[in-house]
Amino acid sequence: MTAADYDDAMARARAALAVLKRAAAELSTPGHDAEAAGAVLRHLRDDLHRQDAPSVAEPTRR
């Protein structure tokens, strides 16, 4: 793994972690009902399965 590959992988991991943290914050809001929690999880699934999602992002050129 080159330094550029490592940097790209870390950038994708940080972006995915930000998505997960946002979902966790939404789920931990007091008063969330099951329907709202389901919507948050559906949005999370959609975010992580997008073509431009962090886990499948194009590597940046240096």
Domains of the chain, by residue range, sit at: 3-56
For tokens 């979902």, the residue is: 23
Helix and strand element counts for the chain (H, E): 2, 0
d(CA 11, CA 13): 5
Across residues 50-55, what is the average pLDDT? Answer: 58
Q: Is the pLDDT of residue 53 over 60?
A: no
Tens digits of residue pLDDT in 20-31: 888 888 878 777
